[in-house]
């Protein structure tokens, strides 16, 4: 639950060290600075509080911790429940609100159409560069003839990016393949990375990968 705090632990420790009082004696870094101690009598003359600095530091540190906790909680609360990594408003700021749900639906609808052998519908969820190429479509149809049934177990976001108008979401898909043969049903778990891009207002599958794809390719 507190994994989101890991990137902030180092800065918090550094902030705590910076807030510590320095050594009153000389050390290897040089001579000690001469500080003016403000007691209650001097504070009344100078019209300052002898504890104002320490109190301000505590308040600022407390506010920083609260902001970090609220930030982390919002990431987890705003992201869909079945994601490996929460996204929330940060992802929405990159690819737009509703994009995660729409892209996930495209992937799910693709597999549903394939399992129902509705290949024409399934191909509508593929990017136009491939779907309008008759050679690519024929190769895909041939590969589907012996393809097993594929169920989507989970889709977790591993990367979101935006280059100009090109929006891309990469899912880490945990899949379950089921193949029937010779009276035996074989079920095999499989993991694939699925890259989805927005094209003419719709989210379409760009490719399936065994390893994390490179945005530049």
- What is the reported pLDDT for 46? 61
Return the CA Rg of the chain.
Answer: 28
Residue 193 and residue 169 in contact, taking contact as beta carbons nearer than 8 Å: no
Per-residue confidence band for 88, with pLDDT thresholds at 50, 70 and 90: low
Mean pLDDT of all residues in 140-169: 86
**Length of the chain as a residue count:** 217
Residue 172 and residue 203 in contact, taking contact as beta carbons nearer than 8 Å: no
Q: Encode pLDDT of 156-194 as tens digits.
A: 988 888 888 889 999 999 999 888 665 566 788 999 999
Per-residue confidence band for 85, with pLDDT thresholds at 50, 70 and 90: very low
Q: Please tell me which residue, 151 or 186, carries the higher pLDDT value.
A: 151
Per-residue confidence band for 148, with pLDDT thresholds at 50, 70 and 90: confident
- What is the reported pLDDT for 43? 64
Q: Please tell me which residue, 12 or 33, carries the higher pLDDT value.
A: 12
CATH architecture under which domain 91-209 falls:
Roll (3.10)
User: Cβ atoms within 10 A of the Cβ of 151, count?
Assistant: 14
Per-residue confidence band for 147, with pLDDT thresholds at 50, 70 and 90: confident
* 45 pLDDT more than 90: no
- What is the reported pLDDT for 79? 46
Residue 174 and residue 153 in contact, taking contact as beta carbons nearer than 8 Å: yes
Share of the chain above pLDDT 70, in %: 64
* 102 pLDDT more than 80: yes
Residue 213 and residue 195 in contact, taking contact as beta carbons nearer than 8 Å: yes
Per-residue confidence band for 110, with pLDDT thresholds at 50, 70 and 90: very high
Mean pLDDT of all residues in 27-51: 64
Q: Please tell me which residue, 66 or 114, carries the higher pLDDT value.
A: 114
Residue 175 to residue 26: CA distance in whole angstroms = 65
Average pLDDT over the chain, rounded to an integer: 76
Residue 196 to residue 208: CA distance in whole angstroms = 9
Q: Please tell me which residue, 120 or 105, carries the higher pLDDT value.
A: 105
- What is the reported pLDDT for 91? 74
Per DSSP, the three-state class of 164 is coil
Those residues with Cβ within 8 angstroms of residue 103's Cβ, 6 or more apart along the chain or in another chain: 169, 171, 196, 198, 203
Tell me the β-bridge partners of 173: 155, 192
Residue 101 and residue 80 in contact, taking contact as beta carbons nearer than 8 Å: yes
* 1 pLDDT more than 50: no
User: Cβ atoms within 10 A of the Cβ of 89, count?
Assistant: 13
């Amino acid at each position: 639950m507190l994994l989101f705090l890991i990137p902030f632990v180092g800065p918090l420790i550094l902030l705590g060290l910076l807030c510590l009082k320095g050594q009153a004696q000389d050390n290897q870094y040089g001579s000690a600075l001469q500080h003016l101690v403000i007691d209650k009598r001097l504070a009344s003359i100078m019209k300052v509080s002898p504890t104002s600095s320490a109190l301000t530091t505590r308040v600022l540190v407390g506010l920083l911790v609260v902001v970090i906790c609220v930030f982390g909680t919002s990431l987890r609360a705003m992201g869909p429940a079945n994601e490996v990594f929460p996204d929330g408003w940060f992802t929405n700021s990159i690819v737009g609100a509703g994009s995660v749900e729409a892209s996930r639906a495209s992937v799910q609808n693709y597999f549903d159409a394939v399992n129902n052998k509705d290949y024409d519908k399934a191909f509508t969820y593929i990017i136009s560069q491939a779907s309008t190429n008759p050679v690519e479509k024929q190769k895909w149809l041939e590969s589907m003839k012996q393809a097993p049934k594929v169920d989507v177990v989970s889709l977790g976001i591993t990367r979101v990016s935006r280059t100009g108008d090109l929006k891309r979401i990469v899912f880490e898909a945990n899949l379950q393949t089921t193949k029937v043969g010779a009276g035996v049903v074989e079920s095999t778990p499989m993991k694939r990375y699925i890259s989805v891009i927005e094209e003419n207002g719709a989210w379409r599958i760009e490719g399936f990968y065994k390893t994390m794809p490179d945005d530049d390719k």
